[in-house]
Amino acid sequence: MDIIVLGLNHKTAPVHIRERVAFPEKSIHEPLRALHGVPGVRETMILSTCNRVEIAAVVESRDQGAAAVRAFVAGHHEVVESELVPHLYLHAGADAVRHLFRVASSLDSLVVGEPQILGQLKDAFACARAAHTVGPWLNRAFEHAFRVAKRVRSETALGAGQVSIPTVAVDLAREIFSELAGHRVLLVGTGEMANLVATLLGRAGAQVLVVGRTLERTREVAQKLGAEPRAWDDFPALIGNVDIVVSSTSAPGFIITIDHLVQARRQRHGRNLFLVDLAVP
């Protein structure tokens, strides 16, 4: 028996590859159970974020298990396996556990020290436990990983500055617009990262508008943010009337198109429009 971690991330794969193998959180139980049923795979957990897709598994044979997991990912997403291979990495045994420690501690993140990854990892592990696809090996590995992450937070200065993808986005917005007070922000979708960006922009004095496919959910998010809910049909016209667009949806295709931006440019007469795309896919 051996622990392996097979995956790809922002360092090894461009966004269009990461998009093709992303696992939607709402339907993660089905692939978890399917992978758990693959011969030679005893335990499994899937972590899928905007910057990485990783599968931690306990396998009977390291080489055969890795090949089985790799074939499962390709087959599940209908991707030719040879297209994925150049972007994949494999950690096994002690290296796999060490990698989990690094991920949990945000040492392997796009923005080193960002706090979101630990919560995402805990959520992914909770999903795997709910699907009954983890056992004693992964339970022990992740318990140690979470303990290590806590020590890194409490015993080092890694997270002291609270730097994250949302804070970087807000810093860029300040570079473009200087003062954010009085500027308008359009939040498209209800993803966690986008909500964090919109929250920070709102605290800086920007006016936040929210659009989503479901008006009930849009109103719920807007209420939490102290923002204004708007109907989905208003979305195309709103792009030209705001200064910042933050997009994070689970739609499989493009939400903001070239035609939308051409129309927005006509409306804005040369004024800056800052777009933050946090959606994968």
> What is the tens place of the pLDDT at every residue in 132-186?
999 999 999 999 999 999 999 889 887 766 677 788 888 888 899 888 888 998 9
Q: What are phi and psi of 160, to 5 degrees?
A: -60, -35
The structure tokens listed for 137 are 């090996």
CATH of 2-155 among 3.30.460.30, 3.40.50.300, 3.30.310.10, 3.30.428.10: 3.30.460.30
Fold of 165-277: Rossmann fold (3.40.50)
Residue tagged active-site, from 21, 50, 74, 198: 50
Instruction: For Cα atoms 250, 77, 165, give the angle at the middle one, nearest 5 degrees.
Output: 40
Q: Which one-letter DSSP state was computed for residue 192?
A: H
Distance, CA of 105 to CA of 149 (rounded, Å)? 4
What local confidence, expressed as pLDDT, does residue 162 receive? 62
Distance, CA of 188 to CA of 193 (rounded, Å)? 12
Residue 252: asked if its preceding bond is cis (omega within 30°), the reply is: no
2-155 matches 165-277 in fold:
no
| Run of H or E residues at 38 | none
What local confidence, expressed as pLDDT, does residue 161 receive? 63
User: Catalytic residue at 50?
Assistant: yes
The structure tokens listed for 209 are 């508008």
Give me Rg for the CA atoms of the chain: 20
Mapped onto helix, strand or coil, the DSSP state of residue 181 is coil
Residue ranges of the chain with pLDDT lower than 50?
Answer: none
What local confidence, expressed as pLDDT, does residue 212 receive? 84
Query: Domain coordinates of the chain in residue numbers?
Result: 2-155, 165-277
